[in-house]
A and B are shown apart, each in its own frame.
Chain A
Amino acid sequence: MPVLDILTYPDETLKQLSKPVTCFDDELRQFIADLDETRLLAPGCVGIAAPQVGRFQRIVIVDLSKNRKPVENHGHLILVNPEITQWDGMEAGREGCLSVPDFTGNVIRAKTISLKAFNAEGEELSFAFSGFEARAVQHELDHLDGLLFLDRLVSRHNDLFKRKAQKKK
């Protein structure tokens, strides 16, 4: 199967709201396989969202199991119609994106999130994510709402990290 083309900023279509998946069929599962193959071609890429390849449906893939630096993770995840039900804490971290090549920046995300989603078979699942995995999930979910990390950039300098350290005392 040919690998899918990735839409890159400033492609206006990336800004649209994606629609929920209603039909969990073989066509969906084949698309998800192609989407993952596309993700795997990008070195170090831990997640991808369907709208990044021009399919405006609420589907993301996140996989932190092969992250360069080992982090807590739930393995390879297919999240269809995902919804954050709870979040807590805030933390700045550095992000990049296949749709914004050659640029990284600091973004604030929730430290922990609870999430409900369906898998590719249409079974409902719930998760509790934290840290880097929670960040990856939030980054991908933003694509479903037409947001890029560029929309959430904070200072390139590091005062946000320092403030976090002070809060712990």
Chain B
Amino acid sequence: MLKWYMLTLVGKDQSGIVAEVTAALYQGGCNLGETSMARLGGNFTVMMMVSAEQNNTQLTELLAPVVDSLGLHLHVDQIEGQLHQHLSTDVMITVSGADRSGIVANVTKALTEAGLTILDLSSDVAGSEQKPIYILQIDGHASEGVEKLHAALQIIKDDGVDVHMQEIDTLIG
């Protein structure tokens, strides 16, 4: 019986990782669902939903040659599939400011309390080594309306970081 797994692969970035990993999965009869790859500070990371006949150990063994040769760390979890259940994004929030600890924790706490469901989040440290800046981008769903989020954002602004919120109206045509 087909089961869904979440495969997490992390390692030093190099070209060809996606091609080699997916070739091994394909040859092993597995199928991909949603995937997300990102380079984080020169490190390769990917999470892949994979449906497979194999059990956890067999999947790990299937990927072992590729994982070893590319120097990756592999983690395999059995999960619920849940494809085609996307919540629609209706707000995009950008936060930026001088880098200091606690920005993400404070911002997301305020937004979560105001009803935001975070659907996508990425952040970066930019600027120079002497003057680092922190930039955070969040896509989300305002489950309790946008007005409540505006109030929460004001609290964040008062704390000295720049925040912009843009409502996203997805066109369905």
Give the distance in Å from the alpha carbon of A169 to the alpha carbon of B83 in the complex: 42
Q: Are B167 and A136 in contact (CB under 8 A)?
A: no
Give the distance in Å from the alpha carbon of A139 to the alpha carbon of B172 in the complex: 9
Q: With an 8 A cutoff between CB atoms, is B129 at the interface?
A: no
Give the distance in Å from the alpha carbon of A161 to the alpha carbon of B170 in the complex: 15
Give the distance in Å from the alpha carbon of A65 to the alpha carbon of B89 in the complex: 22
Give the distance in Å from the alpha carbon of A96 to the alpha carbon of B124 in the complex: 28
Pick the contact of A45: B88, B92, B173 (CB < 8 A).
B173
A-B contacts at CB below 8 angstroms, number: 60
Write the B82-96 contact mask toward A (1 if CB under 8 angstroms, else 0).
Answer: 001010110010100
Pick the contact of B173: A48, A68, A71, A157 (CB < 8 A).
A48
Q: With an 8 A cutoff between CB atoms, is B69 at the interface?
A: no
Residues of B within 8 A of A45 (CB): 172-173
Write the B64-91 contact mask toward A (1 if CB under 8 angstroms, else 0).
Answer: 0000000000000000000010101100
Q: With an 8 A cutoff between CB atoms, is A67 at the interface?
A: yes
Give the distance in Å from the alpha carbon of A134 to the alpha carbon of B95 in the complex: 30
Q: Are B169 and A69 in contact (CB under 8 A)?
A: yes
Instruction: List residues 44-103 of chain A with CB under 8 A from any CB of chain B.
Output: 44-49, 62, 67-69, 71, 93-98, 101-102
